[in-house]
Chain A
Amino acid sequence: MIRLEKRPQPSRAWSLATPLVAVLATMLFGGLLFAVLGKPPVEAIKTIFWEPLFGEFSFYYRPQLLVKSAPLVLIAIGLSLGFKAGIWNIGAEGQYIVGAIVGAAVGLAFYPYEAWYIFPLMVIGGALGGWAWAMIPAVLKVRFGTNEILVSLMLVYVAEQLLASASLRFLKNPEGFGFPGSRNLQSYESAFNADLIEGSGMHWGVVAALIAVIFAYILLNRHMLGFHIRLTGEAPRAAKFAGVNPSRLILLCLGMSGALAGLAGLFEVSGPAGQISIDFNVGYGFTAIIVAFLGRLHPVGILLAGGLMALTYIGGDIAQSNLGLPSAAIQVFQGMLLFFLLALDLLTNYRVTLRTSEVA
């Protein structure tokens, strides 16, 4: 008979090993899924994980890896701070959209005037937009005790409508021949978030993501606020006695994650995407939730997990064009990953013992 015994302390070894085991399990079951879909499983897995890094066209895909992982890491770092403290912001997708709209609006307000300060102003606008959108669930939670999970999620749908409105109405390109979508920021030099080194995929969003990782690491390990965040998540009662102000923590955590998600949106709209359009958002805000958990809510882990997730996005695209793998299969693949991770966490917190006979 299998018995679970709670460990006095979570196992450190398993805590590090579970993400790896989860990735392996996902590869295995993902391969099975692809086989069921009638695609060669080994080739599909190899296309997803190998092709973008070392394949024939890797010179093209490697920069893409940076472009795709930057928003994921930025958003996931913000989310992880809240998740650690038991504050569940699952509306990052909405904050991402609003950040992009506000940031793009700031840039477009200056069009066609060129100046060095336009892009920094857009960055501030993007962060403020995301921050403000996240402040709605934060303030409602602090003031009225409203559930932040539901409010932040509802605001995603509101933000999507706002995005539609922006691309059809208030940010629509006046010279766009009636097509929906804003002016293309890529052709507006002062607002264009170009590659810092030509063709490397290294734009300001990547730099911001790296800074966020370092910032979060220092915050969590060297700063009182980081200690309070961890304490609140691990021992809420102890946190209360230690004088942690829960309202302040909620405002800070949601605010920071909102601002980071808004930044991610701004860097995306001013760089890789180029313009505000109806289908601007592609679900980074939701995938970042997986990234945060896969990275064990640890900044360095999130950096690695973001890279891996970006790999599945790009590899998935390649598999789609080479093998005809449906794009939804990659979505299932990513969901599976979170699934195995949560399931295998059992081994971190519990000791599984096999016992043949029952003891009294």
Chain B
Amino acid sequence: MDLSAINPVLLIASLMVAATPILLAAIGELVVEKSGVLNLGVEGMMIIGAVSGFAIAVETGSPWLGFFASAAAGAVFSLLFVLLTQVAQANQVASGLALTLTGLGLSALLGQSYVGIKPPQMGKLDIPLLSDLPVVGPILFGHDPILYIGIALTAGVWAMLKYSRAGLVLRAVGENHDAAHALGYKVIRIRILAIMFGGACAGLGGAYISLIRVPQWTEGMTAGVGWIALALVVFASWKPWRALLGAYLFGGVTVVQLNLQAAGVAIPVEYLAMSPYVITIVVLVILSADKSSAPAALGRNFHASR
């Protein structure tokens, strides 16, 4: 065992990378849940994003196109959830599960011919001077662009929810859809847009795993990240900045346990590998006392009777 091999600067830098897929998916789901919809299909949309982003990046040779495709694929795939819950008025929990199960199967089917291929690399940010700074350089200025997009997205969603009229309407729909409907807001339309935004974010998060974090395609490679993102939204009490904090916390746990595995700590690998999931449960327990900030209409379908 050699713990001195763990470099704290690299640890923080790789923690941010590990956190980004969770953050992207969680920010998307946060908006969805703020609109009063509970979409348990995050895992399915992520893996669809992962496979389509990977395929497009390999075919075109451009990771950027891959990321665009993953967001588009995630949004299109979330339309299935829209169809079930917003049009056919189906139960949201069951529909989300259907989305996840279908997504896992569909991605395995689509990704068959991409197993074992290396995707094109996305360049890292390289600002002269700044990126070369010790400590601060690799942590703040040495990442791929998508990581910064994730942080910018967090800020954007925060500002949108807090300061914009659109954010206010979204929250109104999520708190009381009947009142919002009575005021003339298009409840269903707003929710559809929110769900598609969530799908696009989840897709991006999935592609981040297959194009940057791992980077390769394997079946079922999201391995529960989508579910951790769902837990993260509860953890964050539906507040964007707390989602960022939580994502870094989970990213930290993942990276530390991987480092411990590599350092050969005397704990069996399996117990280290289960730690992110166990810690998710522990955090959920600690925070589940406070339910006050959950959108009041969360999980309830809206049907205008007239």
Interface residues of A (CB under 8 A from B): 4, 6, 37, 88, 90, 136, 140, 144-147, 149-151, 153-158, 161-162, 164-165, 168-169, 286, 289-290, 293, 326-336, 338-339, 342-346, 349-350
Contact = CB atoms under 8 A, between A and B. Distances in A.
Nearest to A90: B97
B274 A162 contact: yes
Contacts of A165: 268, 270-271
Interface residues of B, number: 47
Contact of B101 (A144, A155, A162, A334): A334
Given A149-B93, A286-B101, A339 B270 contact: no
A34 to B, nearest CB: 11
Contact of B274 (A140, A161, A330): A161
B101 A289 contact: yes
Interface string B264-306: 0000101101100110110011001101000000000001010
A335 B101 contact: yes
A158 B234 CA distance: 20
23 contacts: A136-B281, A140-B284, A144-B288, A147-B231, A151-B284, A154-B227, A154-B280, A154-B281, A157-B223, A158-B277, A326-B112, A328-B112, A329-B109, A331-B105, A331-B108, A332-B102, A335-B101, A335-B102, A338-B94, A338-B97, A338-B98, A343-B88, A345-B88
A155 B277 contact: yes
Q: Binding site of A, secondary structure by majority: helix, strand, loop or mixed?
A: helix
Nearest to A137: B281
Contacts of B230: 150
Contacts, number: 136
Nearest to A136: B281
Given A6-B303, A140-B285, A345-B90, A289 B270 contact: no
Interface of B: 40, 80, 83-84, 87-91, 93-95, 97-98, 101-106, 108-109, 112, 219, 223-224, 227-228, 230-231, 234, 268, 270-271, 273-274, 277-278, 280-281, 284-285, 288-289, 291, 303, 305
B109 A342 contact: no
Contact of B94 (A162, A286, A293): A293
Q: Binding site of B, secondary structure by majority: helix, strand, loop or mixed?
A: helix
Given A150-B280, A350-B89, 14 more contacts: A136-B281, A140-B285, A140-B288, A149-B40, A150-B227, A153-B224, A158-B277, A158-B278, A290-B101, A332-B102, A335-B101, A335-B104, A342-B94, A345-B90
B231 A154 contact: yes
Given A146-B285, A162-B270, A335 B227 contact: no
B278 A342 contact: no
A284 to B, nearest CB: 13
Nearest to A293: B94
B98 A157 contact: no
Contacts of A345: 88, 90
Nearest to A327: B108
B84 A147 contact: no
Contact of B284 (A88, A146, A164): A146
A301 to B, nearest CB: 15
Nearest to B91: A342
A161 B101 CA distance: 21
Nearest to A154: B277
A140 B89 CA distance: 30
B171 to A, nearest CB: 21
Contacts of B277: 154-155, 157-158
